[in-house]
């Protein structure tokens, strides 16, 4: 049996920067290489050395296209990696979008903070030549002894759980896990055997509201701003959350034909991602595929306006209220959302909705945790609008779902928690022991664990 060693270079006791190196004798397999996000200190970690030499990596597997999983991939190519990046087709397409957008944002931020440019457009372009796309449930051999397979993670389009087989040992990386009631993507799958499981634990201490309640909350906000003749701003992530919300609004508008409040989708990235969702209807839930037979576009409905240029975006200001604006980014870290917040957040009648987890240090986190004012290019704006959060649209499994996923294993794998705050993991580990009699531990940054 080869010697197997796992070392974490990000998202060990935090929720961003996912990067795990699996060494199997001399074969080096990297799972994800994501961006650190959040406060300044965390963000600056992106400029530190990776902690390993990309020239020595044999293969990279990308679990899904969120920035905290793919955002440092270009650094690998910049520093001499010449191998493939294995992912599903949808993940490769979304990651190309996200990385190009992120390269632009990182470059702007680097110049504001007097930092060197982290990576160039050319570094990003190299990934586009390196994809090897693999469908779900198809075994891919890396060497005679090592193979892997993707399972549905129920998280965002194309997202995977990765099962790695090394002779007779099975190691599973959960990637980011979703649940069973996501509006669009197929349900999470439940692998049944593993020797070692590396599992995310973002919501290891929380329960989400259910599907009915998240939709009710969203539509209640829509109705309230209609009555008050005011503005609803929904802070969306370009991938999954936008499409989930478009689908809910689609169902509402198409069954309430006299409802005419305009919706502005003001995020070119979200618009481009929506196109990829349309292309991959085979990855959507069976019930959504049934709807597509009579409503061929569940992301488009009467009174939806797509704004592409920043000139078009500015014209939203002059449109009469009530109106609904969907803008990115999800944690209010940039993008057109900031301008809309500046315009509308000081009026008590308006409503600002955040969807899901906000990383500490982001503006989204501050606003959902009771900030009193907001700094807009040096100008302080008082927050008077209603600021609310709907967790139910989170693409992450909650505590119950995480336990259910672990419970499906028929043997007793050793569990390693990643992608969670240390405090949450400390609470979650005894729960896993008490409820499932499984041993779990935290991974520590750059400390290796041995699987022999």
In the bound state with Zn ion, the residue whose beta carbon lies nearer, of 176 and 189, is 176
- Please give the structure tokens belonging to residue 25: 């004798």
- Segment lying near Zn ion (by CB under 5 A), choices 62-70, 211-219, 351-359, 378-386: 62-70
Neighbours of 309 (CB within 10 A): 9
Judged by CB, which is closer to Zn ion: 12, or 176?
A: 176
Q: Count of alpha carbons within 13 Å of 75, Cβ hemisphere only?
A: 24
| Contact mark string toward Zn ion, 153..182, x via CB under 5 A | -----------------------x------
Q: Give the count of residues interacting with Zn ion (CB under 5 A).
A: 2
CB 249 within 8 A of CB 243: no
Footprint of Zn ion on 429-448 (CB under 5 A): none
Cβ at position 70, least distance to Zn ion in Å: 10
Minimum CB distance to Zn ion smaller for 66 or for 365: 66
419 part of the interface to Zn ion, by CB under 5 A: no
Q: In the bound complex, what is the minimum distance in angstroms from residue 202's beta carbon to Zn ion?
A: 9
Of 35 and 146, which has the nearer Cβ to Zn ion? Answer: 35
Least separation in angstroms between CB 156 and Zn ion: 6
Binding segment (CB under 5 A) for Zn ion, from list 20-28, 66-74, 188-196, 329-337:
66-74
Residues 75-104, one symbol each (x = binds Zn ion by CB under 5 A, - = not), give ------------------------------
CB of 173 to Zn ion, least distance (A): 13
Q: At closest approach, how far in Å is the CB of 326 from Zn ion?
A: 20
**Min separation Cβ 64 and Zn ion, Å:** 5
| Residue whose CB is less far from Zn ion, 151 or 253 | 151
Q: What's the per-residue H, E or C state across the chain?
A: CCCEEEEECCCCCCCCCCCEEEEECCEEEEECCCCCCCCHHHHHHHHCCCCCCHHHCCEEECCCCCHHHHCCHHHHHHCCCCCCEEECHHHHHHHHHHHHHHHHHHHHHHHHCCCCCCCCHHHHHHHHHHEEECCCCCCEECCCCEEEEEEECCCCCCCEEEEEEECCEEEEECCCCCCCCCCCECCCCCCCCCCEEEEECCCCCCCCCCHHHHHHHHHHHHHHHHHHCCEEEEECCCCCHHHHHHHHHHHHHHHCCCCCCCEEEECHHHHHHHHHHHHCHHHECHHHHHHHCCCCCCCCCCCEEECCCHHHHHHHHHCCCCEEEEECCCCCCCCCHHHHHHHHCCCCCCEEEEECCCCCCCHHHHHHCCCCEEEECCEEEECCCEEEEEHHHCCCCCHHHHHHHHHCCCCCCEEEEECCCHHHHHHHHHHHHHHHCCCEEECCECCCEECC
Of 67 and 442, the one with the shorter C-beta distance to Zn ion is 67
Stretch that binds Zn ion, among 61-69, 293-301, 334-342, 419-427 (CB under 5 A): 61-69
Specify the stretch interacting with Zn ion by CB under 5 A; choose among 58-66, 73-81, 116-124, 181-189.
58-66
How many beta carbons lie within 10 A of that of residue 129, not counting itself?
9
Q: Which CB sits closer to Zn ion, 176 or 333?
A: 176
* Piece in contact with Zn ion (CB under 5 A), picked from 65-73, 135-143, 290-298, 335-343: 65-73
Report the nearest approach of Zn ion to the CB of residue 74 (Å).
Answer: 18
For Zn ion, the closer of residues 176 and 398 by Cβ is: 176
Q: Which is nearer to Zn ion, 176 or 244 (CB)?
A: 176
How near is the Cβ of 214 to Zn ion at its closest, in Å?
Answer: 18
Residues 6+ apart with CB under 8 A from 58: 27, 28, 29, 83, 142
- Contact call for residue 152 and Zn ion (CB under 5 A): no
CB of 241 to Zn ion, least distance (A): 11
- Cβ-based nearer residue to Zn ion, 50 or 156: 156
Stretch that binds Zn ion, among 63-71, 82-90, 382-390, 398-406 (CB under 5 A): 63-71
Q: Does 66 bind Zn ion (CB under 5 A)?
A: yes
Judged by the rule CB under 5 A, the positions of this chain that interact with Zn ion are 66, 176
């Amino acid at each position: 049996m080869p010697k197997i060693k796992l070392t974490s270079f990000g998202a060990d006791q935090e929720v961003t920067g996912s990067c795990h190196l699996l060494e199997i004798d001399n074969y080096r397999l990297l799972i994800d290489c994501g961006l650190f996000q959040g406060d300044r200190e965390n963000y600056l970690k992106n400029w530190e050395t990776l902690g390993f030499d990309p020239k020595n990596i044999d293969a990279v597997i990308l679990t899904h296209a969120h920035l905290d999983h793919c955002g440092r991939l270009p650094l690998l190519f910049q520093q001499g990696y010449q191998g493939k990046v294995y992912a599903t087709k949808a993940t490769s397409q979304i990651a190309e979008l996200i990385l190009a957008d992120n390269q632009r944002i990182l470059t702007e931020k680097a110049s504001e903070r007097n930092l060197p440019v982290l990576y160039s457009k050319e570094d990003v372009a190299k990934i586009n030549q390196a994809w090897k796309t693999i469908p779900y449930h198809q075994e891919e051999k890396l060497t005679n002894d090592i193979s892997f397979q993707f399972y549905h993670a129920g998280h965002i389009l194309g997202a995977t759980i990765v099962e790695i087989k090394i002779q007779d040992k099975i190691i599973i990386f959960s990637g980011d896990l979703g649940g069973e009631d996501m509006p669009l993507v197929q349900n999470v799958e439940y692998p049944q055997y593993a020797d070692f499981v590396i599992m995310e634990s973002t919501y290891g201490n929380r329960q989400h509201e259910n599907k009915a309640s998240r939709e009710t909350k969203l539509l209640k906000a829509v109705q309230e701003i209609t009555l008050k003749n005011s503005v609803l701003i929904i802070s969306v992530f370009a991938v999954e959350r936008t499409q989930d919300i478009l689908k809910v609004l689609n169902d509402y508008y198409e069954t309430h034909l006299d409802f005419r409040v305009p919706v502005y989708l003001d995020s070119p990235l979200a618009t481009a991602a929506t196109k990829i969702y349309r292309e991959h209807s085979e990855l959507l839930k069976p019930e959504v595929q049934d709807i597509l037979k009579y409503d061929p576009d569940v992301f488009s409905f009467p009174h939806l306006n797509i704004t592409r240029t920043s000139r078009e975006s500015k014209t939203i200001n002059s449109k009469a209220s009530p109106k609904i604006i969907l803008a990115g980014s999800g944690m209010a870290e940039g993008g057109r959302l900031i301008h809309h917040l500046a315009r509308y957040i000081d009026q008590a009648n308006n409503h600002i909705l955040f969807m899901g987890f906000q990383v500490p240090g982001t503006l989204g986190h501050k606003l959902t945790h009771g900030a009193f004012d907001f700094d807009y290019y040096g100008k302080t704006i008082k927050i008077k609008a209603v600021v609310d959060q709907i967790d139910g649209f989170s693409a992450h499994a909650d505590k119950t779902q995480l336990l259910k996923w672990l419970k499906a294993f028929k043997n007793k794998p050793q569990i390693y928690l990643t992608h969670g705050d240390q405090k949450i993991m400390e609470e979650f580990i005894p729960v896993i022991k008490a409820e499932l009699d499984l041993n779990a531990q935290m991974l520590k940054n750059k400390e290796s664990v041995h699987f022999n």
